Structure 1
Amino acid sequence: MSETPDSAVQTVRAYIDSHREGFLAELADWLRIPSVSAQPEHAGDVRRSADWLAATLRQTGFPVAEVWETAGAPAVFAEWPTDDAGAPTVLVYGHHDVQPAAREDGWRTDPFEPHTEDGRLYARGAADDKGQVFFHTLGVRAHLAATGRTAPAVHLKLLIEGEEESGSPHFRALIEDRADRLAADAVLVSDTGMWSEDTPTVCTGMRGLAECEITLYGPDQDIHSGAFGGAVPNPATAAARLVAALHDADERVAIPGFYDGVADLGDHERALFAELPFDESRWLATAHSHAAAGEAGYSTLERVWARPTAEVNGIGGGYQGPGSKTIVPASAFLKLSFRLVAGQDADRLETLVRDWAAVHVPPGIRAEIVFGAATRPCLTPLDHPALRAVTRAMERAFDQRIRYTREGGSGPAADLQDVLKAPVLFLGISVPSDGWHAPNEKVELGLLLKGAEASAHLWDELSAALR
């Protein structure tokens, strides 16, 4: 028989406290494996990491834990069926690969020899993402202890990717090929963070990403600017004019049709963003920048979380060496990226960009436009019952009100939403000071254990919310 909610909180907390040392020792063993997917010399370590996780998940109690091969690095799939025939299915996503790390990068200690100091666990992957994946193993055991169950309250699945830090090049193909095994009523991503230790939050969405390179060709070779300049089109000038045409005076993207389908932020969500203790001067210092700028009519947080953008990532052409070389260059290039929000489609954006460029590129200049693989945006509405379930689980763990954020970056979660047709939820406990991708990455141990508490409460909450 399940305990009352108040006693369940205490039981979960006591269980996690009593199993803390064993949990951290196991996590440290995993962190010692340098599963750097971007470096070919660590391919064997990425595989060792997958094997370690599959074996540990079986020890945790998952009846199924498999290493799934891809054209690149292996992923791990695990499944723990519920004994409740009417319960929903929840898929947890994370990744077991990590960013490169070496002492000479600025680490105070060996990045793959975990150590604790002042309530923090330092190691590559401590926050991104091994720690945030692994707290679910402690959480599910605490869930069983608090409820008296022998299986979770939901049909629980895990998919832990091995190439996220390399751009997830084979992830879409993997989930399309395995869609029947991955079918779920909701997807939970544990690869995000919170606003701060004092202000716990739940993320409600991530932007998508599309990138392209535009190469502009003029003369068949560099030519003399005295003999020909001013009489033939210059591709470097065309590149500058194309960049100038990208935004209007209000910093809105000036590509026709770019904002079609974009839903404006509602007053309620804008008010929730405004509640957060945002210090713009501190944010600018973090950004190593000297002024805020962007689309008129929106705050800084609204711009980076909820509005689509276009950025010039690179521009070049012509002579780049010391001194002068008086030429009309043969070519020039632009590198552009677009952050997309719900309602936008990357395939349609490609058409819009090509049409826009065709209008602005002058006769005599040939444009080649190459797009890379796109990442789709994802967003969970604030009134979605599954989001409310995540919020309640976090509130029970943190004993305080939970606020909402979005993330300005992009990730593979949207592919899960797109392929599985399931809402994407986020449960992360990392804070900005954890230093993802930086030297001396760490995770706050207190928050890591709070993540396990939230995970323990989540399965009952989602079981009720998704029926």
Structure 2
Amino acid sequence: MSTDAYVPVRTFVEQNSAGFLEDLKDWLRIPSISGDPDRVGDVRASAQWLAAKLRATGFPTVEIWETAGGAGLPAVFAEWPSGDPQAPTVAVYGHHDVQPVTPLELWETQPFDPSVRDGKLYARGASDDKGQIFFHVLGLRAHLAATGRTAPAVNLKLIVEGEEESGSPNFAQLLRERADRLACDVVVVSDTGMWDRDTPSTVTGMRGLIAAQIDLHGPSGDVHSGSFGGAISNPLTELVRLLAQLHDENRHIALPGFYDGIVALTDTERRLFAELPFDEAAWLRTAKSRAAVGEAGYTTLERVWARPTAEINGIWGGHTGPGQKTIVPSEAHAKLSFRLVAGQDPAQVRKALELWLAERIPSWLEYEVEFEGDGVRPCLTPLDHPALNSVTRALGRAFADDPDGEPRQILYTREGGSGPEADLQEVLGAPVLFLGVALPEDGWHAPNEKMDIAGLLRGAEAAAYLWEDLAGNK
């Protein structure tokens, strides 16, 4: 984008902010809770509202896509070709469904009656994710107004799903079925956040996930420990022994081949992580823990963003009620989950766990291991990817005090959680970039969810700059 368009973008965003906020409030009033069967109609109404607004904005193609499974929680697809045969194609991802609002008594104002206090917009979905997907509408309008274009500088597509807060159970299938319509060079995800208000940043990766349940069977029924204890195998004891071998003394994970192919942190990435103003004591309070403990040789941020994990999420069996019941229990159970990083494949981790169990569980015990689906792949965008450089330039310009002045430095973060981003990357075969402006204190999934209005407007501004930058960044 030429420098003479920077100020017009900011001016347009500021002059149109009031109407933008009123439209967003209107959308936020729709209680599109995908996890509540009684709100299926509201999720559909939310999709219809967005579709109508995108048509009014100028998108020549807007469609509501039904998903498999019969849940009735549709996605919205929109497309606006650039008209330039050399223009790259960009798909923007977000979601229009929201989390439940319980406990309702902890909300200071009604969750679906948007209110503004101290420069923040309070409502369920304000930050996650209606506000962050809707700033693209304002950003696109600013981009067109500032450049005088009648179509975006890129071939622009939007895919906004209605099941993300329910685990995106049908999204991967939708992507595969519609891959030809969603084909793109770059995916932009606006469902993440920044480090804090004073430290603008962009996410470069998310971890994957695979989860399993292990069931061990010993005696065909509970038996008296006085008559049989010490002479037969106790499945709970064997399970505890087994799980104690999951990590070594350095807290490395013991599954065979678990670390094979992992994309290692570079010195540059470790240096950039270290530049973030991380307060470990405050982080520990959020973690409700007394000490940071984990894999040897890595910092806390490196552990939660860029290293894989094996967690025991639950273990049970035998007598757990009041008083004594001196038995050798017949069964023992545990739930495990593995967070994965770039270079790991959930299917390979599954095989590694199956082999590890087969080698260690005694032959006189029966066992099963059941996995919760196929897992989620990790995703990572290299720091030197040219499209990522476009994102950082756009954000740096948007968060500058003067859009024509020196741009702000944009730092890099990752997210330790998992989402549909890996499906986007895998099915569409395109790098995933993150343009999110939410803040850690925005209260995603919690009562009194909010969004900083100034941040929303900076997000719109960044989107306006991004399309021109990507178009020039062949």
**Which TM-score tier does this pair reach, normalised by the shorter chain?**
over 0.9
- For residues 15 and 309 of structure 2, the distance between their equivalents in structure 1, rounded to whole angstroms, comes to 48
1:413 aligns with one of 399, 405, 421: 421
Q: Tell me the CA shift for residue 103 of structure 1.
A: 5.9
Letter in 2 for 1:441: E
Q: Tell me the SS of whatever aligns to 2:78.
A: strand
Aligned-pair CA distance for 1:192: 0.3
Q: Is residue 435 of structure 1 aligned with residue 443 of structure 2?
A: yes
Find the counterpart in structure 1 of residue 459 from structure 2.
451
CA distance in 1, matches of 2:6, 2:316: 59
Distance 1:116 1:263 in 2: 44
Report the alpha carbon displacement of residue 102 of structure 1 after superposing the two structures with TM. 4.1
Question: Alignment partner of 1:248: what SS?
Answer: coil
Report the counterpart of residue 86 of structure 2 in structure 1.
86
Greater shift, 364-373 or 117-126, is seen at 364-373
1:351-385 per-residue CA deviation (whole Å, 9 max, x = no partner) reads 10011111221122111111112111000000000
1:388-407 mapped onto 2 (5 Å cutoff): 388-399=389-400, 400-407=408-415
State how 1:143-154 maps to structure 2 within 5 Å. 143-154=143-154
TM-score, with structure 2 as normaliser = 0.97
- 2:403 corresponding residue in structure 1: none
User: Identity, % of aligned pairs?
Assistant: 63
2:45 aligns with 48
Partner of 1:299: 299
The equivalent residue for 1:423 is 431
Structure 1 equivalent of residue 354 of structure 2? 354
Residue 303 of structure 2 aligns with an amino acid whose one-letter code is R
Decide whether the 8 Å contact of 1:102 with 1:111 is kept in 2: no
Contact preservation (8 Å) 1:207, 1:377: yes
Output the CA distance in 2 between the equivalents of 1:230 and 1:463: 72
By how many angstroms is 1:10 displaced?
0.6
Could you tell me how far apart the structure 2 residues matched to 1:104 and 1:445 are?
A: 24
Secondary structure of the corresponding residue to residue 165 of structure 1: helix
Residue matched to 2:33: 36
- How much does 1:278 deviate? 0.3
| 1:62 maps to which of 59, 62, 66 | 59
Contact kept in structure 2, 1:218 and 1:365, CA below 8 Å: yes
Q: One-letter code of the match for 1:416? A: L
8 Å Cα contact 1:312/1:334 also seen in 2: yes
Q: In structure 2, the residue corresponding to 1:66 is in which secondary structure?
A: strand
Structure 2 residue matching 1:193: 3-state secondary structure: coil
Distance 2:356 2:102 in 1: 44
TM-score (norm. length: structure 1): 0.98
Q: Do the aligned residues in 2 keep the contact of 1:233 with 1:362 (CA within 8 Å)?
A: no
2:387 is matched with 386
Secondary structure of 2:76's partner? Answer: strand
| C-alpha contact (below 8 Å) 2:379/2:421 kept by paired residues | yes
Match of 1:232 in 2: 232
Give the counterpart letter for 1:257 in structure 2.
G
Please tell me whether the aligned partners of residues 187 and 425 of structure 1 are also in contact (alpha carbons under 8 angstroms): yes
1:273 alignment counterpart: 273
Deviation at 1:224, TM superposition (A): 1.0
CA contact (8 A) 1:253 1:310 kept: yes
List aligned pairs for 1:104-123, cutoff 5 A: 104-123=104-123
Alignment deviations for residues 291-331 of structure 1 (CA, whole Å, 9 cap, x no partner): 10000000000000000111111011110100110111111
Deviation track 1:20-40 (CA, whole Å, cap 9, x = no partner) reads 010000000000000000010
SS of 1:320's partner is coil
1:167-216: CA deviation from partner (whole Å, max 9, x where unpaired): 00000110000000000001010000000000000100000011111111
Instruction: Find the counterpart in structure 2 of residue 14 from structure 1.
Output: 11
Tell me, yes or no, if structure 1 residue 98 matches structure 2 residue 98.
Answer: yes
The CA deviation string for residues 141-171 of structure 1, in whole angstroms up to 9 with x for no partner, is 0000111100000000000010000000000
Distance verdict in 2 for CA 1:103–1:328, change over 3 Å: closer
The residue that corresponds to 2:405 in the other structure is none
Deviations 1:394-423 (A, max 9, x none): 011011111100111110011011011100
Encode CA deviations 1:418-464: one digit per residue, 9 max, x unaligned: 01110010000001000100110000000000000000000011112
**TM alignment of 1:158-197, pairs within 5 A:** 158-197=158-197
8 Å CA contact 2:104–2:447 kept in 1: the answer is: no
* RMSD across aligned positions (CA): 0.9
SS at match of 1:44: helix
Structure 1 residues 126-165: aligned runs within 5 Å: 126-165=126-165
Structure 1 outlier segments of 4+, above 3 Å: none
Q: Is the contact made by 2:318 and 2:331 (CA closer than 8 Å) also made in structure 1?
A: yes
Whether the 8 Å CA contact 2:10–2:461 is kept in 1: the answer is yes
Residue correspondence of structure 1 range 239-388 to structure 2 within 5 A: 239-373=239-373, 374-388=375-389
